[in-house]
């Protein structure tokens, strides 16, 4: 009986040795490879989630940029509309105002480099600046109302100069306005 027990114990030891020396290294290598693959997949999943959040943010930014571009395009008249805008400058006057002279200067073509950081986009925008000198006879109250009316116009207009000349008693105030009109595209 002890013989069978010793033989059985030797067989068990041989099987344990075989498992440990022959099978265990392969199984350990497979487990290690699977663990590394799982870690890599987890890192890729985290990167994908981060990128997905950035894509959503970028889509919102692009939509906002498109909205702003539409708004600015609406505010910058085309070159063909510049005459209408000049007409608006002189027809938005109130009572008590008289235009003595309206002198448009030659348009100046400008190019601006535009660079967005997120997403990185570069480009150029070309526009024209049309400077107009307006000589007006009016009162302080009426010139204030006129400037407020210019501010309400939907187009981009900038008052770059205002000169007042002292009137003689009982005479209207002499006003020289320098106005820039911005026209898209040139």
Q: Give the pTM.
A: 0.53
**What does the domain layout of the chain look like in residue ranges?**
1-75, 79-184
- What pLDDT does residue 85 have? 66
User: Which residue is it, tokens 């400037």?
Assistant: 147
In sequence order, what DSSP letters do the residues of 146-184 get, joined into one string?
A: HHHHHHHSSS-EEEEEEEEEPPPTTSPEEEEEEEEEEEE
Over residues 97-131, the pLDDT tens digits come to 888 888 888 888 888 787 777 667 777 777 888 88
Mean pLDDT along residues 13-24: 80
Percent of the chain with pLDDT over 90: 8
**Contact present, 108 and 163 (Cβ < 8 Å):** no
What three-state secondary structure class fits 77?
A: coil
Cis peptide before 119 (omega within 30 of 0): yes
Over residues 74-101, the pLDDT tens digits come to 656 665 565 666 677 777 666 778 888 8
Flag the least confident range among 19-33, 49-63, 165-179: 19-33
- What pLDDT does residue 185 have? 65
In sequence order, what DSSP letters do the residues of 23-34 get, joined into one string?
A: IHHHHHHHHHHH
- What pLDDT does residue 76 have? 60
Residues 6+ apart with CB under 8 A from 160: 131, 178, 179, 180
Q: What angle do CA 34, 36, 41 make, to 5 degrees?
A: 95
pLDDT at 141 > cutoff 80: yes
- What pLDDT does residue 130 have? 82
CATH 1.10.760.10 fits 79-184, yes or no: no
Sign for the CA dihedral angle at 135, 139, 144, 149 comes to: negative
Alpha-carbon distance of 161 to 179, in angstroms, equals 7
pLDDT at 186 > cutoff 60: no
Mean pLDDT along residues 54-74: 79
């Amino acid at each position: 009986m002890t013989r069978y027990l010793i033989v059985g114990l030797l067989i068990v030891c041989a099987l344990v040795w075989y498992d440990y020396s022959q099978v265990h290294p392969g199984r350990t290598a497979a487990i290690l490879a699977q663990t590394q693959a799982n870690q890599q997949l987890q890192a890729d999943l985290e990167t994908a989630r981060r990128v997905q959040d950035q894509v959503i943010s970028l889509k919102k930014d692009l939509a906002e940029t498109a909205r702003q571009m539409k708004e600015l395009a609406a505010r910058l008249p085309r070159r063909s509309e510049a005459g209408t805008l000049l007409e608006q400058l002189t027809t938005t006057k109130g009572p008590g105002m008289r235009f003595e002279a309206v002198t448009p200067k030659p348009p100046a073509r400008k190019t601006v480099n535009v660079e967005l950081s997120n997403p990185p986009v570069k480009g150029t925008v070309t526009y024209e600046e049309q400077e107009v000198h307006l000589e007006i006879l009016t009162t302080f109250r009426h010139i204030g109302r006129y400037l407020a009316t210019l501010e309400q116009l939907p187009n981009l207009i900038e008052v770059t100069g205002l000169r007042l000349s002292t009137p003689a008693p009982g005479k209207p105030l002499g006003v020289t306005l320098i106005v820039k009109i911005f026209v898209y595209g040139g």
